[in-house]
Structures are given as structure tokens and as C-alpha cells.
Amino acid sequence: MKLTTYDKYPEVSVKGYEHQAWQGWQAIVTALNTRRSAAAKTVLVIDCYPGVRLSELEHQLLPALNASVLVNVESARQDEQALHTLLARNLTDDRVFGVLSCHQLSEFFDADRLAALRQQVADAAEGLVVVYGPGASLVHPGDVLVYADLPRWEIQQRMRSGELGNWGVENQHEDILRRYKRAFFIEWRVFDRHKTPLLKRTHFLLDTTLADAPSMVSGEALRAGLKETSHRPFRVVPFFDPGVWGGQWMKQRFDLDPSKPNYAWCFDCVPEENSLLMRFGDVRIEIPSLDLVLLHPQELLGEKVHARFGAEFPIRFDFLDTMGGQNLSFQVHPLTEYIQQQFGMHYTQDESYYILDAEPDAVVYLGTKTGTDPAAMIDDLHQAARGEKDFDDRRFVNQIPARKHDHFLIPAGTVHCSGSGTMVLEISATPYIFTFKLWDWGRLGLDGLPRPVHLTHGEQVIDWQRDTQWVHQHLVNRIEPLGEGDGWQEERTGLHEREFIETRRHWFSGPVTHHTQGGVNVLNLVEGAEALVESPSGAFAPFTVHYAETFIIPASVGEYRITPVGNSIGQRFATVKAWVRG
């Protein structure tokens, strides 16, 4: 299978700030020292996202600063039992699902001990006073403020390796799903609220993603880079992950590590999880792409989308690879009222499967067969969950042939999964964690443990009206021609009216003009080797995309043009575009 030119490390190059970024601890220390006040006393605050290696700061950075006073804010943090009491309602007993937290970071600290640290800083007469750790700015705003950041995906890697537990607890060896749950529902929510105002005023951003290979950029340069990114096409950094059902298509097409058994997922546009790479001269900075959403939601999302979703990126593109693999878990997503009432999330995971490639006998499981007795199917699922039998999928579930460029719509409440032999571009709403597995084909996870099944949740949200006739009428290849011109054709491909995402496919052999219409656009080049994204007015530099790459067009861009690159005679290109309906 021929490799593509898929770019696994896309960057945004930021001009004019080449001398405001530094690589390595020595250069970082020199840069920080230049900001020390001429006054007798300077307070340097290094606030951190949870997951930053404080031991690395303590061994590599702090000794070189020659501080007269060092204050670790974590000495004022509540103890483990107090945190558990505070968070019990949000943690729940479930292995996977919690309740979204509305806590403020100050609640995680003992007020008296925090006051004592503030007094310690105030009492320091002269020299450099360094306050560091997650929440350090609660002690002092900082004469010089550094924010140490890293992407959620790197946090997950540290969790998986056993290096990292949750913030404030020694649970490195706890079930990874429970650690991820605590981070997803609580820690990341609390710290995103805390860091947003800090990013708007920080003097420096410290990139701690790579161990012992730090980078730092000035706050001025960081904010200039984020502002530029919010006005031009860009890609986030994809990450690939093996899974028990994973396939071989991405490994072969994207030139991935051949030693891995498979690759199941690729998250190619999930700003909550993905990184954003920005280059300042010779220095590359890796930050959470969510930082862009938090600081520039209106330019990125558009006024209407921002008003509706706040600083959240509501569209997700990812890949599900079962080519040479196995079926996904048979699953269902919660209805809107269920996700609101049970988990505190205000919208649910509606989605769709766009088929990038498929083996000849591939199928998608979608909806229940006409005449299915709900009680009989639920009883069969419970028997399967107890290990008494295999779920009788052929009796209860539609199996629909899947071909390249088919599009299957999956509004919440519809039972579904991709069968083996498919390469799926999944287009969905963002809260991807809310998947209720109903049956996992009797498999163990890669960790050797049974994969969690959520029948208690799932049986309460299945829409039994979505039977064979309804599915074929409403969810399978709802392709509607909308217009055509010289070298292009536009089609509406979905999604269902219950879903807030609209999708369009453009076939083209020459330039096609698009417009964001005031809302963020997310696209993938689903056919063709390479295309060029340009501004008719020259508002941004030409941007190259390759086959299967997902790219984001901020709402602020307005009009843009996509043109095939190379010899396109006799060749059709295609993009799939998604945006939030008005």
C-alpha cells in the first residue's frame, strides 16, 4: 500500500518573534534573569498545569535561579482525604463516568496554609522569591509570571506509564480508566478555568511536554502566535493509539511505527486532547490546542457558535481503523437530557461514519432490526455480559454493507458500531468519552482486563424506533446534490436533523471557493493527493493539505479557495466539510 505524505507534525510558523523563544534550561534561566527587577525583591511565580514534572523544575530550573526564598504551593493543598470528600459526588463509583466539576481551584487548598504562604512571600525582604506548582498564582500574582503547560495527551501517556497519578493523590497504580475519569471530569475542568486568565497576562509560557527538553516563549509572542492561528487555516497534531480492535490501514498509509500491533484511533481534530505546534525561529513550542480555544473563541468559532457552546470546540474529526482488525464495541450514545442530568454535560455525542476505505465484505452495524423486542434484546445483552453466551447480533441488529465514500449518520440513541474491514472518518460532536458499550464481542482490553460494558446506562437511552426501515430512510447515504459548476460539484451528506453538525462533500478537479459564513469549518481531504488552501484576498499564506488530513478554517477567515495540486486531468478530488448549523 502506497504511503501518503500525511504530515504527522504540522506547525504554525510565527514570524517576527524569533528572539522571544528559548530552548533548554540554560537559555531559559538566562531569559528569566533578564526580567528580574532592579528593585531589591522580585517575585517569580511558576504556575503549572497538573502533570508538569515538578521534580524536573526542582532539579533543573530552580537551583540555577539562586532564589533567596522557594515556596511550593502544594504545601498548602488539602490532604488526600479532604480532596476525596470534596470530590466524592463528582468522582462517583463508576469506573469510567463521573460528573463534570464546577469547583474553583482555591477549594483544593487549605485557606489558613495558603494565607501563611502569602505572608511568607510578603515578609521576604529582598532577592528572588520563587513560588511554584499548580495554583502558584493563588499565593502571589507574580512580578514575573511563568505558566508551565503540557497537552492532555502527554498527561495520559504519563498516566499509562505509571509515572503520574492524579493531582493531590498517590494513585499511580490505580486503574487507568479511573485516573483518566478524575482528570477528565474534575482536574482539567478546574485548571482550564484557572489558567485562562493567566495565559492572557503571563510573561512566559514554559513548554514541558518533552522530558529534559524544555522550551519557553514570551507571553507576547505566544499571544501573537495564537492570534495569527485564529485567522488562518491550521492543523493540530494528530495522535495515534492502538486498540484491541485496531487495524493496519493507518500504519501503512501514514508510515507509523511498524512495531506496534495495530492502530485503532487517530485523533486528528480534538482540540481538548491534541497539541498545537508553533515555531518561533529555531524553537518549536508545543501547547494544548485548547489554549487557542480558550483565548480566541470568537475568532475561531464565530459569534453564534461561541454564544452557543462557550469556549469549547464542538466538532470532532477522528479515524477508526478496523482494516485487518476487528469490530468496534457495539455501543450507543446518551440522549441530550440523559447526559445533562447524569453527567453535567450540556450536549451529547451525535456522530457519523464517513467511509474512507473498506474491504469488500465490510459492514456497519446500525439500528435494530424491525420487529425487535426490546426486552428480548436487553436480556440477550445481559446474558452476554455475564459470559453465558455471545450476543446474537444477527438477530437484533442491522448489518449494512459499507463502501468507500458511504456516509452513515448516527444520532444519539442509535445502537451502532463499525465492523471489521472499514476505515472510518468519524465526524461527531466533541464529548467523545460518553460511549455506552453494550457488547464487546467477549474481548479483553490490551491491559488484559475486561473492557467495561455500560448496560445500565445504555438500556435507558436506546431509541427503539430506529429500526431497519427508519435507518435506511434517514441514516444511510442521505446524499443530496446542491449545485455544480466548472470542475466542481457540491453535495449535502448529512447530518440528521437531530444533530447540530452540517456536512457537505465537494468533488472538484479545479478551484472551489468556500466561505465560513461566520462559523468554524472543519474539513478533510477524502480524495486526492494534495490540495492548496488559499485566501482570494491574500489574507493568509497558502496552506497545503494532503490526503486524509483534517484541517480547521477559523470563522474569521471568511472566504477561502481549495485547489488541486499536480496533474489533476481525469482525477477527482473531494473534501468533506463540517460546521455547526445556525
CA distance 421 to 364: 10
Contact between 523 and 574 (Cβ < 8 Å): no
Q: To 10 degrees, what angle do helices 188-199 and 219-229 make? A: 110
213: in domain: yes
CA distance 83 to 106: 12
The residue written with cell numbers 533578564 in the block is 34
Question: pLDDT at position 140, please?
Answer: 98
The pLDDT of residue 76 is above 80 = yes
CA distance 467 to 458: 17
Question: pLDDT at position 272, please?
Answer: 87
CA distance 544 to 564: 10
Grid cell at residue 256? 507509523
What is the number of domains present in the chain? 2
Among 197, 229, 261, residue at a domain's last position:
229
Query: Is residue 364 packed enough to be buried (19+ CB in 10 Å), middle (13-18) or exposed (0-12)?
Result: buried
Cβ neighbours for 359, distance < 8 A, ≥ 6 positions apart: 323, 420, 421, 422
Output 94 or 136, whichever has higher pLDDT: 136
The pLDDT of residue 3 is above 90 = no
CATH number at residue 497: 2.60.120.10
Cβ neighbours for 443, distance < 8 A, ≥ 6 positions apart: 244, 245, 326, 451
Among 229, 259, 292, residue at a domain's last position:
229
Strand partners, 543: 533
Contact between 477 and 406 (Cβ < 8 Å): yes
- When pLDDT is averaged across residues 181-197 and rounded to a whole number, the result is 96
Cis peptide before 128 (omega within 30 of 0): no
pLDDT digits (tens, 9 = 90+) for 113-131: 999 999 999 999 889 999 9
Tell me what the pLDDT averaged over the chain comes to: 95
225: in domain: yes
251: in domain: no
Question: pLDDT at position 566, please?
Answer: 78
The pLDDT of residue 1 is above 50 = no
CATH number at residue 132: 3.40.50.300
The pLDDT of residue 570 is above 90 = no
pLDDT digits (tens, 9 = 90+) for 429-475: 987 678 999 999 988 766 766 677 899 999 999 999 999 999 999 99
The pLDDT of residue 568 is above 70 = no
The pLDDT of residue 387 is above 90 = no
Cβ neighbours for 152, distance < 8 A, ≥ 6 positions apart: 183, 188, 272, 273, 288, 290
47: in domain: yes
Count of Cβ atoms closer than 10 Å to residue 478 Cβ = 18
196: in domain: yes
Grid cell at residue 257? 511505527
- When pLDDT is averaged across residues 153-169 and rounded to a whole number, the result is 95
Question: pLDDT at position 432, please?
Answer: 61
Output 571 or 213, whichever has higher pLDDT: 213
Strand partners, 52: 50
Query: Kind of pairing, strands 275-280 and 11-13?
Result: parallel
The pLDDT of residue 569 is above 60 = no
- When pLDDT is averaged across residues 352-370 and rounded to a whole number, the result is 98
380: in domain: no
CA distance 493 to 480: 7
Q: Which domain holds residue 520?
A: 480-580
24: in domain: yes
Residue by residue, DSSP assigns 489-544 as EEEEEE--TTSSEEEEEEEESS-EEEE-TTS-EEEEEEESSEEEEE-TT--S--EE
- When pLDDT is averaged across residues 512-531 and rounded to a whole number, the result is 97
Among 209, 229, 249, residue at a domain's last position:
229
262: in domain: no
pLDDT digits (tens, 9 = 90+) for 287-325: 999 999 999 999 999 999 999 999 999 999 999 999 999
pLDDT digits (tens, 9 = 90+) for 544-559: 999 999 999 999 999 9
pLDDT digits (tens, 9 = 90+) for 212-269: 999 999 999 999 999 999 999 999 999 999 999 999 999 999 999 999 999 999 999 9
